[in-house]
């Protein structure tokens, strides 16, 4: 394996001569965010699959010609931090910016450039003003099936089992869709109608964003616009630097633990080092294990994205991030490692180590500044993909969804219940949509009492789901942290780990975490138990009034209170 270090840092700043006006800067910043939001709305309104229009399993953003983030719309954070790589690699692979014309749209899903598995397909459109390239709009969304060995996999051994690859292809030229290429794409899917609908929706999104982006530049003029962009970046950078200036200089580390690589059964430990020097932060992934045989490998852009999420959620003051927020940050990865795999290493479960790395970064920072970060969450998105053939029509169908977990408590409050922070702007489908689209009944969807970690502040609760199958359904279950419970901080206690189980009609049951193409027969019950959040502080210090309220609300039982909060009884 190669051993050199690769540095991922914010893009350099090109020179622009005009001095920025702060009021104009704010107007332009909000106008760009509005343009990105228009992209999001256009995609939601035209998408064909619930995984796009309900779950919001996508990201949309606007970039300049240096691949610097100008604006994004709240959607899937884990995608967002990889989009600059998607844009840069897509453009490079069609011959560079000189090969682009107005109306072109590029398709790109090579995992080592997108930072995702092949199902997460990026569409990139160049944007022109007065005949000059000014940047790009990009949309990246999960396509339900692109001819992998299964629609979703936990056991791939190389990238070629994971789906059809588009290594940077113009599928729109000067506004015209390449119909032959579309036929090829649809021929390589089990659910072509869904894929075609979502493909067209992503084209609509990037076109919508391109029009809105160009309109902002036209309204204020290129010189004033770019001067305001630099001022906007400077402000984002200053906010983040202010946060890290308050953390003592040093190298801080923590170790994460994954259940297995999807092929073997051994746990995988990986260390992440966080170095603070003044207001600079370096996140170092070079000491992680070599790339895995199974698909628990996160391409380098995913390591960058996870690091950006961790930093912006802590230090971004709740603002939509731009490139300036990431100037104080460097990310180090090692080629040939699980956070920088080399082709043809499998990457299908890239998200699992990526989102766990966010928790590990926070655990490392907990040693640097008490109270700065929360305890561990359930640590997973409990990803489920379902597919089959409908009995009545013979038509193929597919769907997929993440599921919420308990969040870790923090120095000041209890944890919430929501999707993992890496998917914090996404959601799962309502029960009504699930039941209307798919062959099952949702029998249970409820907060799970006693699933939280106790402490002065308790963690958020996990959730119990139960689906009664009305037809035979194929599933792939992708669950992590089923063997390792979410940790607490400052004396807080562990929470419930994640689990899944199928109970068959004869009363027998089978539990699992990672499983590819498992048939859940008609009449069987699929049960998900999502993890809780770790506690923060000593349980003996919890306010008795909070214990009483949790008992009244049914969040904990009397037995739980007796074990963990006897002082409150």
pLDDT of residue 319: 81
Residues in the chain with pLDDT values less than 70: 1-4, 11-18
pLDDT value of residue 222:
96
Pairing of strands 525-529, 499-503: antiparallel
pLDDT of residue 16: 54
**Predicted local distance difference test score (pLDDT) of residue 6:** 73
pLDDT at 10: 75
pLDDT in tens, 150-165: 999 999 999 999 999 9
218-227 own/partner pairs: CB under 8 Å, 24+ apart: 218/129, 219/31, 220/24, 220/28, 222/129, 222/130, 222/134, 223/16, 223/17, 223/18, 224/18, 224/20, 224/21, 224/24, 225/28, 226/16, 226/18, 227/16, 227/17, 227/18, 227/19, 227/20
Biggest distance spanned by C-alpha atoms of the chain: 75
Q: Where are the alpha helices (DSSP H) in 167-299?
A: 179-187, 192-220, 222-244
- pLDDT of the residue at 75: 87
Nearest alpha-carbon partner for 407 in 393, 397, 394, 422? 422
Pairwise CA distance, residues 121 & 439, whole Å: 27
Identify the pLDDT of residue 2: 46
State the pLDDT at residue 1: 40
| Residue 18 pLDDT | 65
Q: Hey, is 181 helix, strand or coil?
A: helix
pLDDT in tens, 339-397: 999 999 999 999 999 999 999 999 999 988 878 899 999 999 999 999 999 999 999 99
CA end-to-end span of the chain: 58
Q: Give the pLDDT confidence score for residue 15 in this predicted structure.
A: 53
Peptide bond preceding 344: is omega within 30 degrees of 0, i.e. cis? yes
Q: pLDDT tens for residues 246-303? A: 999 999 999 999 999 999 999 999 999 999 999 999 999 999 999 999 999 999 999 9
Compute CA distances 285 → 78, 257, 271, 339, 369, whole Å: 17, 14, 7, 7, 21
- Tell me the H-state helices in 390-453: 431-437
**How far is the C-alpha of 530 from the C-alpha of 528, rounded, in Å?**
6
Helix or strand run (H / E) with residue 545: helix 544-553
Q: Which residues contact 179 (CB under 8 A, 6 or more apart)?
A: none
CA distance 402 to 428: 6
CA–CA distance, 359 with 365 (Å, rounded to integer): 10
What pLDDT, on a 0 to 100 scale, did the predictor assign at position 4? Answer: 59
How high is the pLDDT of residue 13?
Answer: 63
* pLDDT, position 426: 87
pTM summary value: 0.94
The b-or-e profile of 463-475 (16+ CB within 10 A means b, else e) is bbbbbbbebebbb
| HEC sequence for 9-75 | ECCCCCCCCCCCCHHHHHHHHHHHHHHHHHHHHHHHHHCCCHHHHCCCCEEEEEEECCCCEEEECCC
């Amino acid at each position: 394996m190669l051993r050199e270090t690769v540095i991922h840092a914010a893009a350099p700043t090109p020179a622009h001569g005009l001095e920025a006006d702060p009021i104009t800067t704010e107007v332009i910043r909000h106008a760009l965010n509005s343009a990105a939001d228009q992209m999001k709305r256009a995609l939601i309104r035209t998408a064909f699959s619930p995984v796009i229009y309900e779950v919001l399993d996508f990201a949309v953003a606007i970039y300049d010609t240096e691949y610097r983030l100008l604006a994004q719309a709240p959607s899937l954070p884990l995608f967002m931090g990889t989009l600059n790589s998607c844009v840069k690699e897509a453009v490079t692979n069609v011959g560079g910016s000189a090969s682009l014309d107005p109306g072109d749209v590029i398709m790109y899903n090579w995992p080592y450039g997108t930072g995702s598995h092949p199902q997460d397909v990026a569409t990139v459109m160049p944007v022109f003003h007065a005949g000059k390239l000014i940047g790009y709009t990009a949309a990246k969304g999960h396509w339900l099936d692109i001819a992998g060995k299964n629609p979703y996999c936990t056991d791939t051994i190389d990238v070629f089992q994971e789906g059809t690859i588009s290594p940077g292809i113009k599928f729109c030229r000067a506004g015209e869709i390449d119909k032959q290429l579309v036929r090829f794409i649809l021929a390589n899917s089990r659910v072509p109608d869904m894929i075609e609908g979502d493909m067209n929706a992503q084209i609509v999104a990037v076109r919508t964003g391109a029009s809105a982006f160009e309109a902002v530049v036209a309204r204020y003029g290129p010189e004033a616009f770019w001067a305001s962009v630099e001022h906007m970046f400077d402000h984002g950078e200053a906010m983040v630097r202010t946060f890290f200036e308050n953390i003592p200089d040093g190298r801080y580390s923590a170790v994460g633990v994954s259940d297995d690589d999807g092929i073997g059964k051994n746990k995988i430990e990986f260390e992440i080092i966080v170095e603070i020097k003044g207001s600079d932060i370096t996140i170092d992934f070079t000491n992680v294990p070599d790339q895995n045989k199974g698909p628990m490998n996160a391409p380098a852009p995913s390591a960058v994205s996870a690091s950006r999420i961790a930093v912006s959620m802590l230090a971004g003051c709740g603002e939509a991030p731009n490139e300036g927020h990431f100037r104080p940050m460097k990310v180090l990865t090692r080629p040939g490692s699980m956070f920088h795999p080399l082709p043809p290493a499998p990457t299908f479960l890239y998200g699992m180590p990526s989102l766990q790395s966010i928790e590990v970064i926070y655990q490392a920072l907990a040693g640097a500044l008490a109270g700065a970060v929360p305890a561990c969450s359930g640590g997973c998105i409990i990803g489920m993909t379902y597919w089959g053939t409908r009995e009545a029509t013979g038509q193929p169908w597919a769907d997929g969804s993440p599921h919420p977990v308990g969040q870790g408590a923090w120095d000041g409050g209890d944890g919430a219940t929501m999707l993992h922070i890496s998917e914090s702007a996404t959601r799962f489908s309502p029960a009504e949509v699930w039941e209307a689209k798919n062959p099952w009944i949702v029998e249970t969807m409820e907060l799970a009492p006693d699933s939280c970690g106790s402490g002065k502040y308790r963690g958020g609760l996990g959730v119990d789901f139960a689906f009664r199958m009305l037809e035979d359904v194929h599933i792939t279950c992708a669950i992590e942290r089923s063997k390792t419970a979410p940790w607490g901080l400052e004396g807080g206690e562990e929470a419930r780990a994640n689990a899944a189980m199928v109970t068959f009609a004869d009363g027998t049951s089978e539990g699992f975490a990672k499983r590819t193409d498992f048939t859940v027969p008609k009449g069987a019950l699929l049960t998900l138990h999502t993890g809780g959040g770790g506690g923060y502080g000593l349980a003996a210090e919890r306010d008795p009034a909070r214990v009483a309220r949790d008992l009244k609300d049914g969040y904990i039982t009397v037995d739980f209170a007796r074990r963990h909060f006897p002082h409150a009884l």
